[in-house]
Amino acid sequence: MKTSVATILFIIVFAHVSSGQADNFPLKISLLAEDLYVYTTYQDVNGTRFPSNSMYLVTDIGVVLFDTPWDPTQFQPLLDSIAARHQKKVIYSISTHFHDDRTAGVDFLKAQGVRTYASKMTLALCAQKNENQPEYALRGNTKFVIGGRQFETYYPGEGHTKDNIVIWFPDEDVLFGGCLVKSTENQDIGNIADANLEAWGPAIAKLMKRYPEPQVVVPGHFGWTGKGALTHTLRLLEEHQKK
């Protein structure tokens, strides 16, 4: 049975704090749907406190992370918060591309016994770019059933980076677009240092065809509301091309 999505039902930041206070803390955890959470960490970018969204799924046998904290000071607090909230350990992580906002915590997780995964392309780029490298390679687009919960990885083509993948949660109708997808709060296309601008639009179009009715699309940075982030990303790409 599909669960209804409530964009942010509550926020956990170590101990209980009000949502108004949460933005002042380095770790924010938001319930998206039953057993599915967005967690946000921050880094200073040109003097601005910049949020990075990752996710986790609670299963019967443990917790699966999708991307790692960006802020190294939050590696252990995230695991502690998950253990306190769910009485479970993190057992797997999947990084959606090679940039450090997706992979910064990989070595820490490996030291804790977490099995860390990414695509073969991401593993190669991590080695080439001297980023923390997950241990295991995904075998292309893969459907998982772990501890009674389902999700799948999908590679729609190059965009923000040549290796960016997304995660689809079919029971919740939630798409984690990562940095391939821009938040409706964004006013420009952002970091394009490793982007393929020609392929990015077609990659978004593939996502829209494959997942036509997501309840929520979670971008790699900033807020999320419904599925408007996909069309907004296309709009930003079009505007960038006109400049």
Q: Spot the catalytic one: 107, 171, 186, 191.
A: 191
Residue 53 inside a domain? The answer is: yes
Task: Point out the least confidently predicted range of 29-38, 100-109, 209-218, 221-230.
Answer: 221-230
pLDDT averaged over every residue in the chain: 91
Q: Spot the catalytic one: 35, 53, 132, 160.
A: 160
Query: Residue 47: left (phi > 0), alpha (psi -120 to 50), or beta?
Result: left
Count other C-beta atoms under 10 Å from residue 69's C-beta: 27
Q: How confident is the model at residue 226 (pLDDT cuts 50, 70, 90)?
A: confident
* pLDDT greater than 70 at residue 98: yes
| Beta strands 166-169; 174-178: pairing state | antiparallel
Under DSSP, is residue 50 helix (H, G, I), strand (E, B) or coil?
strand
- What is the mean pLDDT of the segment spanning 203-227? 94
Residue 198 inside a domain? The answer is: no
Q: Spot the catalytic one: 99, 164, 173, 221.
A: 99
**Look-up of token digits 């009715």:** 213
Residue 119 inside a domain? The answer is: yes
Query: How many distinct structural domains can be found in the chain?
Result: 1
Give Cα 167 to chain centroid, integer Å: 8
Q: Which H or E element spans position 53?
A: strand 48-59
Q: How confident is the model at residue 23 (pLDDT cuts 50, 70, 90)?
A: low
**Look-up of token digits 């996909």:** 230
**pLDDT of res. 225:** 80
Distance CA(27)–CA(38), nearest Å, equals: 11
Of the spans 11-25, 106-120, 225-239, which averages the highest pLDDT? 106-120
Tell me the C-alpha to C-alpha distance, in Å, between residue 20 and each of 16, 17, 60, 132, 186.
12, 8, 32, 34, 22
Residue 72 inside a domain? The answer is: yes
Known active-site residue 191: yes
Known active-site residue 97: yes
**pLDDT of res. 6:** 39
- What is the mean pLDDT of the segment spanning 52-61? 98
Model pLDDT for residues 78-92, shown as the tens digit of each residue: 999 999 999 999 999
Residue 136 inside a domain? The answer is: yes
Whichever domain contains 103, its CATH number is 3.60.15.10
Q: What are phi and psi of 72, to 5 degrees?
A: -60, -25
Q: How confident is the model at residue 42 (pLDDT cuts 50, 70, 90)?
A: very high
Model pLDDT for residues 132-162, shown as the tens digit of each residue: 999 999 999 999 999 999 999 999 999 999 9
Q: Spot the catalytic one: 101, 163, 173, 194.
A: 101
Known active-site residue 99: yes
Tell me the residue range of the domain where 171 lies. Answer: 11-178
Known active-site residue 101: yes
Residue 239 inside a domain? The answer is: no
Task: Point out the least confidently predicted range of 22-26, 50-54, 142-146, 164-168.
Answer: 22-26
Contacts of 193 (CB under 8 A, 6+ apart): none
Distance CA(131)–CA(104), nearest Å, equals: 8
Known active-site residue 46: no
Residue 5 inside a domain? The answer is: no
DSSP class of 231: H
Distance CA(39)–CA(28), nearest Å, equals: 6
* pTM of the predicted protein model: 0.91
**pLDDT of res. 243:** 81
Residue 240 inside a domain? The answer is: no
Q: Spot the catalytic one: 35, 67, 97, 232.
A: 97
* pLDDT greater than 50 at residue 223: yes
Nearest of 154, 151, 123, 150 to residue 140 by alpha carbon: 154
